[in-house]
Amino acid sequence: MAGNSACNPQLLLSHKFPEATYTYTERDVAVYALGVGACGRDAVDTDELKYVHHENGLQFIKVLPTFSTLFTLNSLPRGADLPGLEFDPRLLLHGQQYIEIYKPLPSNATIQNKVSLAGLHDKGKAAILEIETRSYEKESGELLSMNRTSIFLRGAGGFSDPSKPFTYTNYPANQAPTIKIPESQPFAAFEDCTQPSQACSILALLYRLSGDYNPLHSDPMIAKVAGIQMNVEVQINERKSDIGVTLCRVLYRVKAKERNRAVLSGYVHLNGLASSL
């Protein structure tokens, strides 16, 4: 180990994560959907209302696939939780999120999580930690989803030889490839406007009720320590999404239209569908 004693990769890689449970109800599903903007523009939008209401009862509401990211909240490190790694939780940033969904999520369930360390990378001034969480429905034992969360830890790097920085990954390189968005004409394009800044601030606070209590997004003092300027008056008035289809993989890129700058990109891989779709 070189330079920085805040990380001991051998000790960290040998750590066995305890299994954890996560229980949720239909109310949690609805609160999450509202927190990410469902029915924000139109309270009776039928395409979005199904995530918060059903005429036959809440037990029949649909669950957004990204709801599965909440299963990981009790599994993610909080400062001194991991042997062999010390970091300031105020400098933690959520990086990439990789999700696999194996079946539609039930509207209520108790989840059994099996957690492992999927990756560790020394980036000099920072470290990247990858936590993999496999979530099973406790009653049936069925695997519902897999989340791989990349956490960017500023100030936790520099623990290896700079000429050959430490890197570890336990999953195939082609499972989460780097996506290059083609510059050709997209298959589809969609334009939308963000909600007014006041509404966005309320949505952020509402989203926290789903269990993501990272103060970085709600406490101006914590954000200041982390070197992030919070300004609730800043908003993107229009955004444009370009969508392209390659076989059964849908690539997307979201741009701030006024600046013509990409702010988000990724892909969705669809299994069990004909490529002709």
User: Domain spanning 9-169: which CATH class is it, in words?
Assistant: alpha beta
Whose CA is closest to 248, among 216, 270, 221? Answer: 270
Burial degree of 189 (CB within 10 A; 0-12, 13-18, 19+): exposed
Kindly state the tokens that stand for 10.
């051998």
- Which band of pLDDT confidence, cut at 50, 70 and 90, is reported for residue 266? confident
CB 135 within 8 A of CB 160: no
Looking at residue 149, its pLDDT comes to 93
Q: What strands lie across the sheet with 261-269, from one edge to the other?
A: 188-192, 239-246, 249-256, 261-269
The whole model's pTM is what?
0.80
Q: What values do phi and psi take at 16, rounded to 5?
A: -105, 120
The answer to whether the Cα torsion of 158, 161, 164, 166 is positive or negative is negative
90-122 confidence digits (pLDDT tens): 788 888 899 999 999 999 999 999 999 999 999
10-58 confidence digits (pLDDT tens): 999 999 999 999 999 999 999 999 998 888 888 888 899 999 999 998 8
CA–CA distance, 113 with 93 (Å, rounded to integer): 22
Looking at residue 185, its pLDDT comes to 82
Looking at residue 232, its pLDDT comes to 35
184-222 confidence digits (pLDDT tens): 888 788 787 766 655 667 787 888 889 888 776 677 777
What residue ranges of the chain are covered by domains with CATH 3.10.129.10? 9-169
Looking at residue 258, its pLDDT comes to 79
- State the chain's mean pLDDT as an integer: 82
Looking at residue 217, its pLDDT comes to 66
Pairwise pLDDT comparison (151 vs 204), residue with the higher score: 151
| Sole residue written with tokens 């100030």 | 155
Looking at residue 4, its pLDDT comes to 45
Looking at residue 230, its pLDDT comes to 47
Nearby residues of 241 by Cβ (< 8 Å), 6 or more positions away: 189, 190, 191, 192, 252, 253, 254, 255
Strand partners, 240: 191, 255
Mean pLDDT of the region 212-236? 61
Kindly state the tokens that stand for 241.
């999404």
Helix/strand/coil (H, E, C) string of 72-132?
HHHHCCCCCCCCCECCCHHHEEEEEEEEEECCCCCCCEEEEEEEEEEEEEECCCEEEEEEE
Looking at residue 199, its pLDDT comes to 60
| Sole residue written with tokens 């290059």 | 180
Kindly state the tokens that stand for 255.
């741009």
Nearby residues of 136 by Cβ (< 8 Å), 6 or more positions away: 111, 112, 113, 114, 142, 143, 144
